[in-house]
A and B are shown apart, each in its own frame.
Chain A
Amino acid sequence: MMSSKLDNRIRVFRAEHRMSQGDLAEKIGVSRKTISTIEVGRFVPSTIIALKIAQYFDVPVEDIFSLVASND
């Protein structure tokens, strides 16, 4: 069945801003584990966390998160 997977570019944005996972976590008020599990796609963040990340990097949320089709 065709389903959707949430892809993200947090790692890229972190690199551009020269930030560690811990730095980003502190800035948006979550734990580092939350950031790291979002990055690898294990954890789908809430809308609030997604918006906080986008707000921090000052970009639309779609620049960071996107849906990709997967054949699971």
Chain B
Amino acid sequence: MTETPGFSAEQFSNRFLTRSAYALLLVAVGYSAEAAEPYVSEPVVQVLDYLGMAASAAIFILLLPLFATYLKHCRGKGGDFEGFVSEIFKKACVRAFEVTFIFLLILEVLARSVLENIPAKTFLQVAVAVCVASMGLTFWILNRQARGDGVDEDDFDEDLE
């Protein structure tokens, strides 16, 4: 595998996973905007359209350069990394499944009574938005907690000499 000076394959993998998780938050914004469109006025629809386009452009900018580099340096090595970032990525996926499952159960009950006039398309858009948002948010929270521990310090500890 080719190594780029200063970056290991795991670092590329970490960056890719981190940006993918944050891109999912933007995907959630796009789906939420689409789901809201039938229920808001025309000027707001235009704003939501722009918001959706901005989210799509941001995802493209966020991921494309890294995706190309990732393919170049880490192709075939994706399953080999067992570091902290891949661990919290997996945890976030599991949490997203749990949240989506519970949300769908609640939605199913509500659809029979109070939300019976809502089209199926809207339900799907909201469900996807909840799924990807919970994934992205869980990842962000777990990543943030690690920073809270002061784990980003990279000094040699003189006091342990």
Binding site for B on A (CB under 8 A): 11-12, 14-16, 18-22, 25-26, 29-34, 36-40, 42-43, 45-46, 48-49
Number of A-B contacts (CB under 8 A): 75
Whether A42 contacts B82 in the complex (CB less than 8 A), given A29-B8, A33-B14, comes out as no
Q: How far is the CA of A35 from the CA of B149 in the complex (A)?
A: 13
* Residue ID in chain A nearest B150 by CB atoms: A40
8 Å CB contact of B8 from A11, A15, A31: A31
Cβ < 8 Å to A, chain B residues 1-43? 8-11, 14
B134-156: CB near A (< 8 Å → 1, else 0) gives 00000000000110011111111
Q: Is the CB of A36 within 8 A of B82?
A: no
8 Å CB contact of A20 from B84, B85, B150, B155: B155
Q: Is the CB of A39 within 8 A of B154?
A: no
Residues of B within 8 A of A33 (CB): 14, 83-85, 146, 151-152
Q: How far is the CA of A30 from the CA of B85 in the complex (A)?
A: 11
Interface membership of B114, Cβ < 8 A: no
Interface membership of B87, Cβ < 8 A: yes
Interface of A is mostly: helix
Q: Is the CB of A37 within 8 A of B84?
A: yes
Residues of B within 8 A of A19 (CB): 156
Q: Is the CB of B82 within 8 A of A21?
A: no
Binding site for A on B (CB under 8 A): 8-11, 14, 81-85, 87, 145-146, 149-157, 160-161
Q: Is the CB of A31 within 8 A of B11?
A: yes
Q: Is the CB of A36 within 8 A of B152?
A: yes
Q: Is the CB of B160 within 8 A of A12?
A: yes
Smallest CB separation, B82 vs chain A (Å): 4
Q: Is the CB of B151 within 8 A of A40?
A: yes
Centre residue among A14, A30, A33, A38 by max chain B CB count within 10 A: A33
Q: How far is the CA of A38 from the CA of B156 in the complex (A)?
A: 16
8 Å CB contact of B151 from A18, A30, A42, A49: A42
8 Å CB contact of B157 from A15, A42, A43, A48: A15
Smallest CB separation, B10 vs chain A (Å): 5
Residues of A within 8 A of B157 (CB): 11, 14-15
